[in-house]
Amino acid sequence: MFFALTVFLGCIGVPAARAQTKSQVGEERLKFVLVLTRHGVRSPTWTNDRLNEYSRDPWPKWEVEPGELTPHGKILMTQFGTYYRAWFADRGLLSADGCSDAGAVYIGGDTDNRTIDTAHSLSQGLLPGCGTIIHSLERGTQDVLFHGAAKLGKQDVQFGLFAVAGHIGGDAAALLPAYKMPLQVMQQVLSGCFEAGCAVDGKKFLLKIQPSLNSGSGDHVAELKGPLSTAATFAENFQLEYLDGMPDAEVGWGRIDEAKVHSLMALHAASSELVQRTPYIARIQASNLLFHIVRTLEQARDNKTVAGAIASPQQKIVFLVGHDTNISNVAALLDAHWLIAGYQRDDAAPGGALVFELWQRPGKEDDVRIYYTVQTPAQMRRASPVSLAEPPARATVFIPQCSRAEEGVPCSWKEFERVTGAAIDKQFVR
């Protein structure tokens, strides 16, 4: 089995970071970082022929095949890697340049082209010219660290359906009036018509798709179909167009701007909340990943080999490059939430990362601190380099069952282990 984690961004507060880098004897210090990151900006996963069934105008053509990391996305992730290097050096985990301590970094990823390409791009920014090995199974194979965890245990599909249905009163159609306004706006953007009931002859009408909730296949225990889930796909595509730096006239055919992209992403957030953050679904899909994350942190804490850990005890930084679903599922198990300006609540945006830090406290138990970090929409659209002076955005993550009321809302190791142990379903762990 393989594991993949992408780069983490690190703390944004530069003065504080520098002060803590030069730790004195007896002071707490950052000992280890694990970064669970989403791949960078990709093209839509639907083909243009499929997308065009719903829109008056043809969707823009991308430079790459569906679902692949874009050239712009590669640039962004390389820039992110450069930032990580500067931040890790500032914290004393790496040297500022060169390859002397490249062995302290582990970069792994899922087997999709976009995750492996993201891992390579991060590596180019983080450790340029160092020949870093990207750890992954063969491209296209299924890694149960990121996918297919349901194959490790017996899932109760019926229970999963009822768990999701419980969020919508058992009626998938109830979502339509709840999201009537953004759904209407989405239909108007697709139709190029800003009157009520806009439709285009020969095209599928978004608002007339029959809503349903059924058992899914593969990674999806439950599958929500209808206007909301379809509109969620379109909203994410508009976000990708914007973040990829497409001309204004091509982002939603020139009918939407950054504010409207943000507004329409509420549809994607709602859909993701139902199918990715329902606790039972998250337990099936993320227990295996969270288990290995915890064992990796334990290995770093004890400085000796621990079964189930990713990488070796000598490595100080682990990057796992996966998908938005991986971040959403793990966050759901921890009841973790965040909000970054320009994004919807809990949006696991392209290149965004859920970061786990292990802090050593002399004479006390080690702490775990978690935060979410991502380049801002403006930084991504313009491909603006991120640096210690101009860092990516960051949100501290509070874990209800273990965080303390202190800066960084840390969890003691004992409490973090207790909370994660209760969240992980061992039947879905390899």
> Encoding tokens for residue 255?
């009918």
What residues contact residue 197 under an 8 Å CB cut-off, 6+ apart? Answer: none
Q: What is the pairing mode between strands 367-374 and 393-396?
A: antiparallel
Positions of the chain with pLDDT lower than 50, given as ranges: 1-25
Q: Backbone dihedral region of 253: left (phi > 0), alpha (psi from -120 to 50 degrees) or beta?
A: left
- Say if residue 102 is in the same domain as residue 216: no
- Say if residue 396 is in the same domain as residue 360: yes
pLDDT at 219: 66
- Say if residue 323 is in the same domain as residue 198: no
Give the predicted TM-score (pTM) of the model.
Answer: 0.92
| Domain total in the chain | 2
CATH number where 139 lies: 3.40.50.1240
- Say if residue 85 is in the same domain as residue 210: no
Residue 53 lies in a domain: yes
> Encoding tokens for residue 417?
């282990």
Q: How far apart are CA 281 and CA 213, in angstroms?
A: 14
Residue 388 lies in a domain: yes
- Say if residue 158 is in the same domain as residue 140: no
- Say if residue 161 is in the same domain as residue 59: no
Burial class (CB in 10 A: 0-12, 13-18, 19+), 217: exposed
- Say if residue 179 is in the same domain as residue 35: no
Domain holding 395, by residue range, is 14-150+282-428
> Encoding tokens for residue 54?
């719903």
Residue 200 lies in a domain: yes
pLDDT at 193: 86
pLDDT at 5: 34
List, in sequence order, the alpha helices (H) in 307-423: 324-334, 377-382, 413-423
- Say if residue 197 is in the same domain as residue 307: no
Residue 7 lies in a domain: no
Q: Are 284 and 159 in contact (CB under 8 A)?
A: no
Last residue within a domain, chosen from 224, 246, 279: 279
pLDDT at 15: 33
pLDDT at 411: 98
- Say if residue 165 is in the same domain as residue 127: no
Last residue within a domain, chosen from 233, 263, 279: 279
Residue 6 lies in a domain: no
- Say if residue 67 is in the same domain as residue 210: no
Last residue within a domain, chosen from 279, 294, 325: 279
> Encoding tokens for residue 60?
């823009």
- Say if residue 314 is in the same domain as residue 271: no
User: pLDDT tens across 350-409, in order?
Assistant: 999 999 999 999 999 999 999 999 999 999 999 999 999 999 999 999 999 999 999 999
Residue 258 lies in a domain: yes
- Say if residue 60 is in the same domain as residue 206: no
User: pLDDT tens across 295-305, in order?
Assistant: 999 999 999 99
Residue 8 lies in a domain: no
pLDDT at 11: 35
Residue 216 lies in a domain: yes
